[in-house]
Amino acid sequence: MSEERFDCIIVGAGPAGSAAALTLARAGLEVLVIERGLQAGSKNMTGGRLYAHALQKIIPNFWEEAPVERRVVKETITMITPSGSVSLDYKSQRYNQEPYHSFTVLRAQFDQWLATKAEEAGAVIATGVRVDDLLRDDQGKIIGVIAGEDQMLANVVIAADGVNSLLAQKAGLRGELKDIHVATGVKEVIELPRQVIEDRFQLTGEEGAAQLFVGRCTQGIQGGGFLYTNKNTISIGLVITSGAIGKSKIKIADLIEEFKTHPNIAPLVTGGKVVEYSAHLVPEGGLNMLPALYTDGLLIAGDAAGLVLNTGYMVRGMDLAIYSGIAAAQTVIKAKEKEDYSKTSLSHYQELLKNSFVMKDLETYKNAPAFMEQTTRIFTTYPQLADNILYKLFTVYGTPAQHLLPMVMGELKKNNISIFDLVKDGIKGVRAL
Amino acid sequence: MKKLSIEERLGFNKFNVDDDEAHITINKEICRTCTEKPCLYACPALLYNLNEAGEMTFDYAGCLECGTCRVVCQKQGAIQWNYPRGTFGVQFRYG
Ligand SMILES: Cc1cc2nc3c(=O)[nH]c(=O)nc-3n(C[C@H](O)[C@H](O)[C@H](O)COP(=O)(O)OP(=O)(O)OC[C@H]3O[C@@H](n4cnc5c(N)ncnc54)[C@H](O)[C@@H]3O)c2cc1C
Ligand code: SF4
Ligand code: SF4
């Protein structure tokens, strides 16, 4: 065992780990980050959009140097059916102004850059090393980590090891993940000439588009699709509740191929060349799946703690990961001042999160997961209903026209939906989202 | 856009397969007693398959390290799941 003891060992060089490392190193603490990938980012994947506010706190105007792809100025929500789609499109010039609101990113590059920032500030980053276990003293307090034959000591360990956090489990903070509390994300990165992307999505220069889909893309299974434009690539994929896939007897690997060939999606990606296929879990239980976030000598941050918001029209994990990393680091800095790394001392972390957007937003959307799980009509009936109504509204075949109200009532009836259902789902939805 | 087979898709990725240590192993005896077999549908790399004898087969090469199989498998002890050893496994170039 090496005699060196770090102030803090961070496991995982994703956004949570690197944000924590940067904050600690700047405060002059001895930090070691351990990452199993050959490089930071080489194991990581995301849908694609980073909300800027959290990173902006520690690296002002980061977009001037960070490998961001495009700034998102266009949002589209699409209900998709076998024969068509109904979209709500929003484009705002306000998103074109500094400080920018959100960017599309590719994690292999982005994570590596953020880890380098932490390194420049003084953190030591050890890549290509898998942490196997936590090291404990006689009293069971966590005092470091074990990787293969090596043991490394620290006053505090921050587990920023992502959604499959084996460390949070080993620390006894959480049990096995439940299949209804996580979603499986699959994604393809498709290369296309820059100009083609800008023309197809009506973007200029650095502008980017974000698009979310619900309905046919998952064949009615709980989940949705996403599409983000990068500089010369498009990130396209699906996020589907893991527990629902097995029951559906539909292979998620097939669904993404179907999705790409849908008549309304195919023109967006045609001519492109797939350059990567990836998969990753997303925590989606929200507030109801949060484990205890700390114990003696250990804090958990980011996906490891389940800090993700999935509201159906947005997936947010990276800004929560970054902020929780910062908060964990601030807690360690305070603990060092007091030389107290006990559970009581580390409870400061909970306070910091509670007073921040992290817990406030999780609280706001705490009913969203249950709403989506119970209201399966969102994934099946409603997209078709919207398609049928608009089809009738826009179609003229010389057959007798119908007034809007009886036509809509007729469609509801055909789909076995009462006005009561509609109002009930609407109210529940408005309350949960 | 053309549909791609799983072999084609996995072929775009860079893997550094650890020939000496399987990071995921399955217990075929337990799998035999599993009626639902959610792993067949949920693994995005389609690494879980039934052979002609109806027996579950699994190959860890091509694993995307998502963790889905570990989460959907309802039979305790059927899957021994870990991340590959440091530096091994899939290496995303985009992410
Ligand atoms: C399909 C999909 C779409 C998404 N879309 C969005 C989006 O548009 N916007 C958004 O904000 N969020 C999105 N998210 C969520 C977001 O990607 C995550 O919340 C975020 O990456 C969490 O960051 P993290 O640092 O906590 O964990 P991770 O980024 O997962 O980092 C964990 C790190 O720990 C390392 N590690 C794990 N175990 C060990 C070990 N034992 N030893 C050493 N190293 C280890 C891993 O290699 C990895 O580098 C999406 C997620 C998915 C899967
Ligand atoms: S779900 Fe688990 S037990 Fe069932 S077949 Fe798959 S690996 Fe075996
Ligand atoms: S971790 Fe993911 S890709 Fe690997 S075998 Fe399990 S489900 Fe398949």
Q: pLDDT per residue over A76-120, tens digit each?
A: 999 999 989 999 999 999 999 999 999 999 999 999 999 999 999
Contact flag A41-B38 (C-beta cutoff 8 Å): no
Count residue pairs from A and B with Cβ separation < 8 A. 157
Give the model's pLDDT for residue A414.
Answer: 87
The answer to whether the CB of A180 falls within 8 A of the CB of A310 is no
Find the CB nearest B64 among A179, A182, A278: A278
Element (H, E) at A133: strand A133-136
| B9 has a chain A CB within 8 A of its CB | yes
The whole model's pTM is what? 0.95
* Cα→Cα distances A346→A54, A234, A292, Å: 22, 42, 12
Find the CB nearest B1 among A41, A164, A272: A272
Q: In this structure, what token pair is assigned to residue A339?
A: 């030389």
Contact flag B45-A189 (C-beta cutoff 8 Å): no
Q: How far is the CA of B66 from the centre of ligand 3 (A)?
A: 5
| B84 has a chain A CB within 8 A of its CB | yes
| B68 has a chain A CB within 8 A of its CB | yes
Ligand nearest to the CA of B29: 2
Domain range for A20: 6-67+106-175+291-355
Find the CB nearest A45 among B2, B83, B95: B95
* CA pair distance A61, A279, nearest whole angstrom: 30
Is B69 inside any structural domain?
yes
* Nearest-5° Cα angle at B75, B69 to B80: 55
- Are A10 and A139 found together in one domain? yes
Q: Which pLDDT band, with edges at 50, 70 and 90, does A191 fall under?
A: very high
Find the CB nearest A257 among B4, B84, B87: B4
Please say which residue of A327, A355, A383 terminates a domain: A355
Give the residue, by CA position, lying nearest to ligand 2 atom 4: B37
The answer to whether the CB of B3 falls within 8 A of the CB of A261 is yes
Contact flag A177-B67 (C-beta cutoff 8 Å): yes
Give the model's pLDDT for residue B43.
Answer: 98
Ligand nearest to the CA of A37: 1
Give the residue, by CA position, lying nearest to ligand 1 atom 18: A317
Domain range for B38: 21-85
Q: Provide mean pLDDT across the span A342-369.
A: 95
Q: In this structure, what token pair is assigned to residue A424?
A: 């009930």
Give the DSSP per-residue string, A283-340. Answer: E--GGGG----EETTEEE-GGGGT--EE-SS-EE-HHHHHHHHHHHHHHHHHHHHHT-
* CA pair distance A71, A102, nearest whole angstrom: 6
Cis omega before residue A99 (within 30°)? yes
* CA pair distance A345, A298, nearest whole angstrom: 11
What is the tens place of the pLDDT at every residue in A207-236? 999 999 999 899 988 899 999 999 999 999
* CA pair distance A177, B68, nearest whole angstrom: 10
Q: How much is the mean pLDDT over chain B?
A: 96
Is A363 inside any structural domain?
no
Residue B41, class by beta-carbon neighbours within 10 Å (0-12 exposed, 13-18 middle, 19+ buried)? Answer: buried
Minimal CA–CA distance to A313: which of A248, A371, A381, A231? A371
Give the residue, by CA position, lying nearest to ligand 1 atom 50: A46
Minimum-distance ligand 1 atom for the alpha carbon of A238: 1
Q: Provide mean pLDDT across the span B54-82.
A: 96
Give the model's pLDDT for residue A2.
Answer: 53
Q: What is the dihedral sign for C-alpha A406, A407, A408, A409?
A: positive
Contact flag B66-A245 (C-beta cutoff 8 Å): no
* Number of domains, chain B: 1
Q: Does any ligand 2 atom lie closer than 6 A to the CB of residue B75?
A: yes
SS3 A63: helix
Contact flag B10-A249 (C-beta cutoff 8 Å): no
Is B92 inside any structural domain?
no
* Number of domains, chain A: 3
* Cα→Cα distances A218→A66, A82, A239, A371, Å: 34, 11, 9, 18
Q: In this structure, what token pair is assigned to residue A265?
A: 């999606």
- Are A215 and A196 found together in one domain? yes
CATH number of residue B44's parent domain: 3.30.70.20
- Are A260 and A308 found together in one domain? no
Is A130 inside any structural domain?
yes
Contact flag B45-A253 (C-beta cutoff 8 Å): yes
Query: Which amino acid, residue A231?
Result: K
SS3 A358: helix
